[in-house]
Structure 1
Amino acid sequence: MDTKRFLLAIGLTLIILWLYQSWLEYQYPDYYAQVEQEEGQDPTEGGAESGAQERSPATPEAGERNETPSMGSAQNGQPSAPQPARTRGPTRGVTVNTDVLRVSFSSGSGDPVAASLQGYRQEDDPDSAPVEVLKEQGSWRVIGQTGWLSGVGEAPNHQAEFEGPDEGSLSLGEGEDTLTVTYTRREGELEFRKSYRFERGSYVVPVEYTVVNQGEDAWTGHVYGQLRQQGTKGQGNWLLGNFFYHGPVLFTANAMQTFPLTELEERAQNTFRDQDPAGWSGIMSRYFMAAWIPAEQEGNTFYARSSNGDLFAGYTAPFPRVGGGEESSVRQFLFLGPKEQSILEQVGENRNLRRSVDYGILSFLAVPLFETLRFFHGLVGNYGFAIILVVLVIKIVFYPLFTMSYRAMAKMRKVQPELQRLREQYGDDRQKLNEEMMRLYREEKVNPLGGCLPILVQIPVFISLYWVLLESVEIRHEPFMLWITDLTSQDPFYVLPILMGASMVVQQLLNPAPLDPIQKKVMLALPVVFTVFFMQFPAGLVLYWLSNNLLSIAQQWWVMRKIT
Structure 2
Amino acid sequence: MDWQKNLLIAAIIAVLFMLVIRWNDFQESLPAANAPVSSAQQTDFNASSDAATAGDIPSLPGTTQAVPVANSTSTNVIKVVTDSLVIEIDPQGGDIVHVALPRHYDALNTPDVPFVLLDNRDHHTYVAQSGLIGANGTDSAAGRPLFTSAQTEYRLADGENQLNVDLVFQQGQTTITKRFVFTRNEYLVNVDYLIDNRSDSVWSGNLYGQIKRDSQSFHKVSALEMNPFLGAAITTNDENYKKLTFKDLNESEFRTVKQGGWVAMVQHYFVSAWVPDANQENNYHLRRIGNQDIYLLGFTGPRVEVAAGSTGSLSTSFYAGPKDTERLAEISRYLDLTVDYGWLWWIAKPLFWLLKFIHSFVNNWGLAIIGLTLVVKAVFFHLSATSYRSMARMRKLAPKLADLKERYGDDRQKMSQEMMKLYKTEKVNPLGGCLPILVQMPVFLALYWTLMESVELRHSPFFLWITDLSVKDPYFVLPLIMGLTMWLQMKLNPTPPDPMQARIMQLMPVVFTFLFLWFPAGLVLYWVTNNTLGILQQWYITRQIEKADTTA
Same fold by TM-score, threshold 0.5 exceeded?
yes
Alignment counterpart, residue 155 of structure 1, candidates 127, 138, 157: 138
Call closer, same or farther: CA 1:70–1:121 in 2, change over 3 Å.
closer
Between 136-145 and 424-433, the greater mean CA deviation after superposition: 136-145
* Shift, 1:82, TM fit: 6.2
TM-superposition CA deviations, 1:409-433 (whole Å, max 9, x none): 1111111101111110111111111
TM-superposition CA deviations, 1:203-251 (whole Å, max 9, x none): 1111111222222221222011111002410423358865322232222
Partner of 1:436: 418
CA contact (8 A) 2:5 2:501 kept: no
Alignment counterpart, residue 44 of structure 2, candidates 44, 49, 59: 49
Partner of 1:452: 434
SS at match of 1:21: coil
Inter-partner Cα distance in structure 1 for 2:234 and 2:68: 20
TM-superposition CA deviations, 1:317-360 (whole Å, max 9, x none): 1242112112111221111211111221332xx43321111100
Inter-partner Cα distance in structure 1 for 2:108 and 2:460: 9
Partner of 1:495: 477
Inter-partner Cα distance in structure 1 for 2:73 and 2:122: 12
CA contact (8 A) 1:108 1:161 kept: yes
SS at match of 1:451: coil
- The letter of the residue matching 1:192 is I
CA contact (8 A) 1:207 1:332 kept: yes
- The letter of the residue matching 1:276 is K
Inter-partner Cα distance in structure 1 for 2:480 and 2:427: 37
* Shift, 1:406, TM fit: 1.0
Inter-partner Cα distance in structure 1 for 2:462 and 2:51: 43
Partner of 1:197: 181
CA contact (8 A) 1:205 1:335 kept: yes
* Shift, 1:176, TM fit: 2.0
Call closer, same or farther: CA 1:166–1:503 in 2, change over 3 Å.
same
| TM-score normalised by length of structure 2 | 0.89
Partner of 1:368: 350
SS at match of 1:221: strand
Alignment counterpart, residue 470 of structure 1, candidates 446, 452, 457: 452
**Is the counterpart of residue 263 in structure 1 residue 231 in structure 2?**
no
* Shift, 1:5, TM fit: 7.8
Inter-partner Cα distance in structure 2 for 1:488 and 1:466: 11
Q: How many residues align?
A: 538
Call closer, same or farther: CA 1:74–1:278 in 2, change over 3 Å.
closer
Inter-partner Cα distance in structure 2 for 1:81 and 1:174: 46
Inter-partner Cα distance in structure 1 for 2:70 and 2:493: 69
Call closer, same or farther: CA 1:206–1:452 in 2, change over 3 Å.
same
* Shift, 1:81, TM fit: 7.2
CA contact (8 A) 2:5 2:498 kept: no
TM-superposition CA deviations, 1:36-94 (whole Å, max 9, x none): 58989636987763673425977xxxxxxxx796664624xxx6876565344453511
Q: What are the within-5 Å matches in structure 2 for residues 234-383 of structure 1? A: 234-237=218-221, 242-253=226-237, 255-267=240-252, 271-307=253-289, 308-347=292-331, 350-383=332-365
CA contact (8 A) 1:41 1:139 kept: no
CA contact (8 A) 1:110 1:164 kept: no
Partner of 1:484: 466
* Shift, 1:193, TM fit: 1.7
Inter-partner Cα distance in structure 2 for 1:18 and 1:83: 45
SS at match of 1:121: strand
- The letter of the residue matching 1:467 is W
- The letter of the residue matching 1:264 is L
Alignment counterpart, residue 528 of structure 1, candidates 510, 518, 537: 510
Alignment counterpart, residue 158 of structure 2, candidates 174, 180, 191: 174
Between 548-557 and 322-331, the greater mean CA deviation after superposition: 322-331
SS at match of 1:206: strand
SS at match of 1:276: strand
Call closer, same or farther: CA 1:19–1:469 in 2, change over 3 Å.
closer
CA contact (8 A) 1:216 1:325 kept: yes
Partner of 1:210: 194
CA contact (8 A) 2:265 2:273 kept: yes
Between 118-127 and 239-248, the greater mean CA deviation after superposition: 239-248
Partner of 2:489: 507
Inter-partner Cα distance in structure 2 for 1:7 and 1:88: 62
- The letter of the residue matching 1:538 is P
Percent of pairs with identical residues: 36
CA contact (8 A) 1:300 1:315 kept: yes
CA contact (8 A) 2:282 2:301 kept: yes
- The letter of the residue matching 1:155 is T
Partner of 2:23: 21
- The letter of the residue matching 1:503 is T
SS at match of 1:446: coil
Call closer, same or farther: CA 1:236–1:327 in 2, change over 3 Å.
same
Inter-partner Cα distance in structure 2 for 1:559 and 1:51: 69
Call closer, same or farther: CA 1:92–1:112 in 2, change over 3 Å.
farther
Partner of 2:61: 74
Partner of 2:120: 136
CA contact (8 A) 2:383 2:436 kept: yes
- The letter of the residue matching 1:54 is S
Alignment counterpart, residue 552 of structure 1, candidates 516, 524, 534: 534
SS at match of 2:360: helix
SS at match of 2:532: helix
* Shift, 1:164, TM fit: 2.3
| TM-score normalised by length of structure 1 | 0.88
Unaligned runs of 5+ in 2: 547-552
Call closer, same or farther: CA 1:15–1:234 in 2, change over 3 Å.
farther
Inter-partner Cα distance in structure 2 for 1:199 and 1:80: 38
Call closer, same or farther: CA 1:334–1:82 in 2, change over 3 Å.
farther
